[in-house]
Amino acid sequence: MTESGTSRPHQATPGFGARLREAMDGRGPLCAGIDPHAGLLDAWGLTDSVNGLEKFALGAAEALAPRVAAVKPQSAFFERFGSRGIAVLERVVETCREAGALVVLDVKRGDIGSTAQAYADAYLDPRSPMAVDAITATPYLGFGSLTPMVETAREHGKGMFVLALTSNPEAPQFQHARTSSGRTVAGAVLDELRDLNAEQAPMGFLGAVVGATISETTEDLAINGPLLVPGIGAQGGTTDDVRRIFGDVIDLVLPSSSREILGAGPDEGALHAAVGRSLDAFSALRSGR
């Protein structure tokens, strides 16, 4: 029952947390990013064009999606080519899901009221041509502004990863600021996620984005939901960083690697090998080796 006393629609499929837990346990804890920025297109010998985008993104999806728990396309690198780029993104999403990977669309949406609901309808409603398993979202209009997305995700068995502790140098200005209660903004976001994930098993549907290159943190990262950890590899994050930051909640960590893996392409065998190295490293980390 919701707080208003009305019943939530029945979910025909397991919730996002359960599906991600199964994928991480079965395929290993890795999210492979697909970030077709101009430098990578050039490194693959492709032009910075829709044709180059299509070859790069679909090639990456076909090579990576059968081997990882989740794939994370960065929407902006598709959007810059307009409607034709979005058409490529739709094909990437379809390719990844057909290969059995969950799709986390990195869009970092955040707005209020009907606009927030429209974003939810676009990405989290199965009837949408752009429907994915989860999206990234920003809470800096107030966590309550995300309610339409949270409720739509809950209704359809989808997920969200909410920005909490990101690695960019400008982040502390907002994320480390104190609220009127004395909590940091990041801590307040994590508290909200923990409350919404309460009593969900094996894992809640709402996750947090926590960068692999943040400094030491005293925030409680045990939110009973997945922790999407970007910044692995080319951006400087290491397995030692992940061990240092996440400690007892390492089982919740979904490391995300983009350039470190994509830089091995376009050779399919080299991409497979890059995925294998990352999987070996993070599987060992989870097992305590």
Please give the positions annotated as active site.
108
CB atoms within 10 A of CB 249: 15
* Distance (Å, whole) CA 25 – CA 16: 14
* Strands (E) located in 55-214: 70-73, 102-109, 134-137, 159-165, 206-210
* Distance (Å, whole) CA 50 – CA 123: 22
* Distance (Å, whole) CA 144 – CA 147: 5
* Distance (Å, whole) CA 260 – CA 91: 23
The CA dihedral of 212, 218, 222, 226, to the nearest 10 degrees, is: -20
Q: How far is CA 100 from CA 26, 65, 197, in A?
A: 11, 7, 25
Q: Which residue has the tokens 């970092």?
A: 108
